[in-house]
């Protein structure tokens, strides 16, 4: 069963305290969630943490859960910044709400879409998940801008990322739509790609806004 | 270039004129079809976006008289560019009886999205699946019968360039107006349908397009449509606008994308089983050639070969050399002129009038001789070269090759067409600058054309002129190149506006059809000749008037200090006054001065550079004014004049100082 939001926040704080600040336990005062909150009991009942003398300690199972929770939080931050272009406090706040939705494989999809990032926007490490190890083993590039393709490489269009509506419409008129196959036939001096039976030339400004996966 | 409009709403008998409009993506063969239906001629090319104007022509189809309207290419009913807007105007306001949507068989999937929009708009659409021959060559099969069933409109396969399918198209146009139309709807997702019907429910006005399609356009925040609806709805508009605002806001993140994706999935559904592509991609010879032309390593040598044989050998040596020699020297100077002089002197007793026709600046001895003997062969060979290249599909490839370079001048590779065309005729090229995306690009291109791109006529004369003094041609070339780059880079810095973006469809490379190249050259020549011949005649008359009234002498005297400051004898003023009418006219004037031995190598070079940079011909100036408005045209004119004489001054000092060409 899924943990409550508060329980996830506590796990994150505990993970940061133990793994990144090298403390032995977490003081509930630093979490903003008082010790009488049911979330603590929830975590203790699931044998993820232990509470002794008002301090919170990891149990072995909890450590892994904490790792995954912090991973989801930082992935959410990346998503806010890289894709949705929401930055600053607003981004942090939205990431906090968003992370709780990244369960049951959604985190894998987002991680893949973001191309298995290793650090959050604040420069802290994102613990790698299964998908990251898998991608590394396969040498999979993941979702990259078209500019990263080699000429001759074929892939699928993942998404278009642009603030400019007209650019978006132009690309769509060329058949650049998520899900369509695309072949990059040349990368210099201009990018030439083929969608269906049409060929187009674009400059690097447009090419870097088309995101593709192999 | 466009066929002139006989666009009356009613025919002679007072009946309503039947109208058929051709729409579709750029470069799918609309103009070829237009020519085939009307027997008229609009410029056809293998270059996307060549039809910048609406052309109208008349055709008799199964005994009925029709007006055929050819529109610039459009990708979608929701328009982005100026040409698309022009095309949509026809659909919005002219209520054509039949709309032929022409598309490229190979790109059925991409282009059908617009067919869906046209059907949705409740327009009387016939779908022409064109370029079937090339699709077949690539191993594609298209089940037109099934497509027709699924779309609910007539579908015709054609290869208009090969005259295939024309009879079927005519028959379909004729029978379409007699048959009742079935309304066909392609539903979007439930949510989008909900939003559309909420908006439609608030619309009261009468429209030529369906409310459903207008509602979608309103949600896409199409300004022109919003304005039209606001006008049409009157008092009820406020509520409608509020609803549209609300819905558009809800969908602000990705409405365009959602809509495209939904249309794409509708299309995918429609072509499932209709469009079958071969297991393995067939790589044709033209694709291989295309690959060579776009790789710098092979593309640049290819460009040089094209320029060497096309421009230097064909236009330069053959056109400006062999043909000019033949026409100007052997025919005009040796035969026609002496004969005309005798004839005119016999008919007209007054010496002054004789002068007008056969004198120093006579209409025949100077005007017609220049126009026909010197300018015509050069321009004709250039247009043959240009039209041939245009039809091969080489220009879009050249555009992508030079895009990076052109970005430094604030232009994109797209500007390569007006720039190359400028070497043929700057006036025509200035007109073509309207195919550029932004006003900023258009202004920069207009300026560079006015300043540093010599037209073929002028180029021919100047090269002939300067090749006699060794080194002079090199100095001239380096000067022009320097000024082109300098002004281009500066203009890119100074001109406000965003950096332009480059995108271009690459049409397949084709071997041009000789007849098409010749017809195109012919229409361009015709346009050119009608434009220049009167100017040459007027120039002759004005020069004659100037001479007999003495004004000319005064003007030459007035210009003497200017000429002196750039180290030229006062006689060159004559060439500059000529040059105001046409730059090549001026250059040809220099040619005469040089034959008289009045100029040394340095003076010749300074004069040639100044004259090349100097004000564009009257015709180009008029087109500049028409395309860019008085302020910009005037500004460019002033800038060009000052820069021309300024450069002449600097070059003269430089040459004197360094002793080059001494």
A→B interface, C-beta within 8 Å: 160, 165-175, 177-180, 185-186, 188-190, 192, 195-203, 205-206
Cβ–Cβ of A175/B110 closer than 8 Å?
yes
DSSP string, B451-514: HH---HHHHHHHHHHHTTSTTHHHHHHHHHHHHHHHHHHHHHHHS-SPPP--EEEEPPP-PPPH
Cβ–Cβ of B505/A177 closer than 8 Å?
no
Whether residue B374 contacts residue B520, with contact meaning beta carbons closer than 8 Å, is answered with no
Longest dimension (CA), chain A: 70
Determine the distance in angstroms separating the CA of A130 from the nearest CA of chain B, rounded to an integer.
32
Mean per-residue pLDDT over chain B, rounded: 86
Cβ–Cβ of B501/A203 closer than 8 Å?
yes
Euclidean distance between CA atoms A62 and A40, whole angstroms: 12
pLDDT, average across residues A8-29 = 87
Closest residue in A to B399 (Cα–Cα):
A201
Q: Which residues of B touch A187 (CB under 8 A)?
A: none
B117 or B467, which is more confident? B117
Could you report the per-residue pLDDT of B258-309, keeping only the tens digit for each? 899 899 999 999 999 999 988 887 788 888 999 999 999 999 999 999 999 9
* B12 band by pLDDT with thresholds 50, 70 and 90: very low
pLDDT at B385 over 50: yes
Whether residue B459 contacts residue B439, with contact meaning beta carbons closer than 8 Å, is answered with no
Determine the distance in angstroms separating the CA of B541 from the nearest CA of chain A, rounded to an integer.
50
Where do you find CATH 2.30.30.90 in chain A? 143-213
The pLDDT value recorded for residue B616 is: 67
The pLDDT value recorded for residue B4 is: 40
Q: Which residues of A touch B109 (CB under 8 A)?
A: 175, 196
Closest residue in A to B74 (Cα–Cα):
A173
**A68-72, B203-207, B531-535: which range is least confident on average?**
B531-535
pLDDT, average across residues B421-443 = 86
Whether residue B576 contacts residue B552, with contact meaning beta carbons closer than 8 Å, is answered with no
CATH of domain B18-176: 3.40.50.300
Determine the distance in angstroms separating the CA of B536 from the nearest CA of chain A, rounded to an integer.
43
Interface test with A, best of B260, B407, B509 (most A CBs within 10 A): B260
Q: Which residues of A touch B401 (CB under 8 A)?
A: 189-190
Of B291, B294, B503, the CB nearest to A170: B503
pLDDT, average across residues B177-187 = 78
First to last CA, chain A: 35
B576 or B346, which is more confident? B346
- Residue A198 to residues A82, A150, A169, B133, B409, Cα–Cα distance (Å): 31, 19, 17, 16, 29
The pLDDT value recorded for residue B11 is: 42
Q: Which residues of A touch B290 (CB under 8 A)?
A: 199
Whether residue B25 contacts residue B111, with contact meaning beta carbons closer than 8 Å, is answered with yes
Determine the distance in angstroms separating the CA of B504 from the nearest CA of chain A, rounded to an integer.
5
Q: Which residues of B touch A202 (CB under 8 A)?
A: 501-504
Cβ–Cβ of A201/B413 closer than 8 Å?
yes
Where are chain B's structural domains?
18-176, 190-251, 296-504+521-658
Q: Which residues of A touch B415 (CB under 8 A)?
A: none
Euclidean distance between CA atoms B272 and B527, whole angstroms: 48
**C-alpha torsion sign, points B498, B499, B505, B511:** positive
Closest residue in B to A171 (Cα–Cα):
B503
Q: Which residues of A touch B407 (CB under 8 A)?
A: 203
Cβ–Cβ of A198/B291 closer than 8 Å?
no
Q: How many CB atoms lie within 10 A of CB B208?
A: 14
Give every strand in the sheet of A181-186, ordered side by side: A143-145, A210-213, A154-160, A181-186, A191-195, A198-202, B503-506
Cβ–Cβ of A170/B407 closer than 8 Å?
no
B→A interface, C-beta within 8 Å: 75-76, 78, 80, 104, 106-107, 109-110, 135, 138, 140, 256-257, 260-261, 264, 277, 290-291, 294-296, 396, 399-404, 407, 412-413, 499, 501-506
Closest residue in A to B28 (Cα–Cα):
A198
pLDDT at A13 over 70: yes
Query: Which candidate, B198, B309, B222, B216, places its Cα nearest to that of B259?
Result: B216
pLDDT at B14 over 70: no
pLDDT at B76 over 80: yes
Taking the mean position of all CA atoms in its chain, how far away is CA B607? 31
- Residue B572 to residues B229, B589, B606, B642, Cα–Cα distance (Å): 62, 8, 11, 18
- Residue B589 to residues B167, B472, B549, B571, Cα–Cα distance (Å): 55, 18, 21, 10
The pLDDT value recorded for residue B263 is: 93
Q: How many CB pairs under 8 A join A and B?
A: 104
Cβ–Cβ of A189/B109 closer than 8 Å?
no
In sequence order, the 6+-apart residues with CB closer than 8 A to the CB of A28 are A10, A34, A35, A40, A54, A55, A56
* B316 band by pLDDT with thresholds 50, 70 and 90: confident
Return the axis-axis angle of helices B472-494 and B456-466, rounded to nearest 10°.
140
3-state per-residue secondary structure call for A139-168: CCCCEEEHHHCCCCCEEEEEEECCCCHHHH
| Alpha helix segments (H runs only) across B180-321 | 190-201, 211-219, 223-233, 237-250, 255-271, 285-294, 296-306
Determine the distance in angstroms separating the CA of A91 from the nearest CA of chain B, rounded to an integer.
17
Could you report the per-residue pLDDT of B471-482, keeping only the tens digit for each? 888 999 999 999
Residue B194 sits at the vertex; the CA angle it makes with B190 and B196, to the nearest 5 degrees, is: 115
Closest residue in B to A177 (Cα–Cα):
B261
Cβ–Cβ of A198/B256 closer than 8 Å?
no
Could you report the per-residue pLDDT of A155-188, keeping only the tens digit for each? 999 888 887 878 888 888 888 988 899 999 999 8
The pLDDT value recorded for residue B6 is: 39
B242 DSSP 8-state letter: H
Euclidean distance between CA atoms B534 and B549, whole angstroms: 22
The pLDDT value recorded for residue B8 is: 41
Indicate the pTM of the whole model: 0.79
pLDDT, average across residues B531-535 = 76
The pLDDT value recorded for residue B519 is: 83
Could you report the per-residue pLDDT of B124-167, keeping only the tens digit for each? 999 999 999 989 988 899 999 999 999 999 999 999 988 899 99
Q: Which residues of A touch B106 (CB under 8 A)?
A: 196-198
Cβ–Cβ of A177/B506 closer than 8 Å?
no
The pLDDT value recorded for residue B367 is: 81
Euclidean distance between CA atoms B272 and B279, whole angstroms: 16
Euclidean distance between CA atoms B550 and B306, whole angstroms: 49
Q: Which residues of B touch A179 (CB under 8 A)?
A: 261, 264
B106 or B283, which is more confident? B106
The pLDDT value recorded for residue B581 is: 63
Query: Which candidate, B129, B137, B102, B114, places its Cα nearest to that of B508?
Result: B137
In sequence order, the 6+-apart residues with CB closer than 8 A to the CB of A59 are A47, A48, A49, A50
pLDDT at B82 over 50: yes
* B48 band by pLDDT with thresholds 50, 70 and 90: low
pLDDT at A93 over 60: yes
* B359 band by pLDDT with thresholds 50, 70 and 90: confident
- Pick left, alpha or beta for residue B484 (phi over 0 → left; psi -120 to 50 → alpha; otherwise beta): alpha
Euclidean distance between CA atoms A203 and B335, whole angstroms: 56
Highest mean pLDDT, choosing among A88-92, B374-378, B627-631:
B627-631
Closest residue in A to B221 (Cα–Cα):
A165
CATH 1.10.1740.10 fits A1-140, yes or no: no
Q: Which residues of B touch A168 (CB under 8 A)?
A: 256-257
Q: Which residues of B touch A186 (CB under 8 A)?
A: 291, 294-295
Architecture per CATH, A143-213: Roll (2.30)
Cβ–Cβ of A174/B110 closer than 8 Å?
yes
Could you report the per-residue pLDDT of B446-471, keeping only the tens digit for each? 999 999 898 877 787 788 788 877 78
A119 DSSP 8-state letter: B
């Amino acid at each position: 069963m899924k943990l409550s939001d508060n329980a996830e926040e506590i796990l994150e704080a505990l993970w940061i305290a133990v793994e990144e600040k090298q403390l032995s336990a977490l003081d509930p005062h630093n979490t903003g969630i008082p010790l009488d909150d049911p979330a603590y009991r929830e975590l203790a009942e699931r044998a993820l943490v232990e509470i002794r003398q008002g301090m919170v300690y990891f149990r072995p199972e909890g450590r892994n859960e904490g790792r995954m929770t912090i991973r989801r939080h930082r992935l959410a931050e990346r998503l806010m910044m890289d894709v949705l272009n929401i930055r600053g406090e607003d981004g942090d706040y939205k990431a906090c709400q968003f992370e709780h939705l990244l369960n049951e494989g959604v985190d894998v999809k987002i991680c893949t879409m973001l191309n298995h990032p290793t650090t959050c926007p604040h420069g802290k490490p994102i613990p790698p998940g299964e998908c990251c190890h898998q991608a590394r083993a396969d040498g999979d590039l993941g979702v990259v801008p078209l500019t990263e393709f080699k000429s001759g490489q074929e892939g699928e269009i993942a998404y278009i990322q642009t603030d400019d509506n007209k650019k978006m419409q132009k690309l769509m008129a060329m058949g650049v739509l998520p899900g369509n196959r695309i072949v990059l036939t040349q990368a210099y001096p201009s990018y030439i790609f083929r969608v269906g039976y049409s060929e187009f030339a674009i400059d690097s400004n447009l090419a870097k806004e088309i995101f593709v996966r192999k | 270039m466009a066929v002139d409009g006989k666009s009356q709403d009613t025919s002679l008998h007072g009946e309503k004129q039947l109208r058929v409009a051709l729409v579709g993506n750029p470069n799918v063969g609309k103009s070829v079809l237009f020519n085939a239906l009307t027997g008229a001629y609009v410029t056809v090319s293998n270059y996307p976006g060549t039809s910048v104007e609406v052309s109208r022509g008349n055709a008799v189809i199964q005994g009925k008289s029709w007006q055929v309207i050819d529109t610039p290419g459009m990708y979608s009913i929701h328009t982005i560019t100026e040409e698309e807007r022009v095309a949509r105007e026809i659909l919005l306001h002219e209520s054509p009886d039949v709309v032929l949507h022409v598309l490229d068989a190979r790109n059925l999937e991409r282009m059908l999205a617009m067919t869906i929009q046209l059907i949705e708009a409740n327009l009387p659409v016939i779908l022409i699946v064109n370029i079937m021959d090339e699709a077949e060559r690539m191993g594609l099969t298209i089940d037109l019968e099934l497509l027709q069933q699924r779309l609910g409109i007539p579908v015709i396969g054609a290869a208009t360039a090969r005259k295939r399918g024309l009879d079927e198209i005519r028959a379909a146009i004729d029978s379409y107006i007699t048959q009742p139309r079935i309304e066909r709807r392609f539903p979007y997702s439930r949510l989008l349908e909900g939003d559309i019907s909420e908006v439609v429910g608030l619309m009261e006005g009468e429209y030529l397009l369906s409310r459903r399609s207008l509602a979608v356009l309103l949600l896409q925040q199409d300004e022109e449509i919003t304005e039209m609806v606001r006008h049409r709805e009157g008092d009820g508009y406020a509520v409608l606008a509020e609803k549209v605002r609300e819905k558009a806001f809800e969908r602000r993140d990705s409405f365009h994308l959602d809509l495209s994706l939904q249309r794409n999935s509708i299309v995918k559904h429609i072509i499932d089983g209709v469009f079958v592509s071969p297991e393995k991609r067939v790589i044709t010879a033209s694709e291989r050639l295309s690959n060579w032309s776009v790789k710098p390593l092979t593309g640049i040598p290819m460009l040089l070969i094209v320029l060497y044989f096309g421009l230097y050998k064909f236009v330069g040596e053959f056109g400006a050399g062999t043909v000019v020699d033949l026409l100007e020297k052997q025919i005009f100077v040796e035969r026609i002129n002496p004969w005309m002089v005798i004839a005119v002197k016999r008919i007209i007793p007054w010496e002054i009038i004789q002068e007008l026709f056969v004198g120093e600046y006579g209409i025949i001895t100077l005007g017609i001789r220049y126009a026909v003997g010197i300018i015509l062969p050069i321009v004709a060979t250039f247009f043959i070269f240009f039209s041939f290249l245009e039809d091969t599909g080489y220009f879009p490839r050249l555009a992508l090759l030079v895009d990076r370079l052109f970005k430094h001048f604030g232009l994109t590779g797209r500007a390569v067409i007006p720039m190359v065309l400028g070497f043929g005729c700057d006036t025509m090229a200035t007109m073509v600058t309207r195919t550029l995306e932004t006003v900023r690009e258009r202004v920069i291109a207009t300026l560079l054309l006015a300043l540093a791109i010599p037209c073929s006529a002028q180029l021919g004369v100047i090269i002939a002129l300067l090749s006699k003094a060794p080194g002079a041609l090199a100095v001239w070339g380096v000067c022009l190149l320097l000024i082109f780059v300098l002004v281009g880079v500066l203009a890119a810095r100074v001109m406000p506006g965003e950096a332009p973006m480059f995108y271009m469809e690459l049409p397949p490379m084709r071997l041009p059809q000789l007849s098409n190249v010749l017809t195109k050259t012919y229409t361009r020549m015709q346009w050119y000749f009608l434009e220049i011949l009167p100017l040459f005649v007027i120039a002759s008359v004005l020069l004659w008037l100037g001479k007999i009234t003495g004004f000319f002498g005064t003007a030459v005297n007035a210009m003497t200090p200017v000429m002196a400051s750039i180290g030229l004898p006062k006689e060159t003023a004559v060439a500059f006054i000529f040059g105001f009418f046409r730059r090549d006219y001026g250059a040809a004037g220099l040619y005469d001065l040089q034959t008289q031995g009045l100029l040394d190598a340095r003076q010749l070079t300074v004069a040639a550079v100044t004259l090349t940079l100097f004000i564009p011909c009257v015709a180009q100036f008029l087109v500049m004014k028409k395309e860019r408005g008085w302020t910009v045209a005037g500004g460019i004119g002033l800038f060009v004049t000052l820069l021309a004489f300024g450069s002449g001054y600097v070059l003269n000092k430089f040459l004197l100082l360094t002793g080059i060409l001494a």
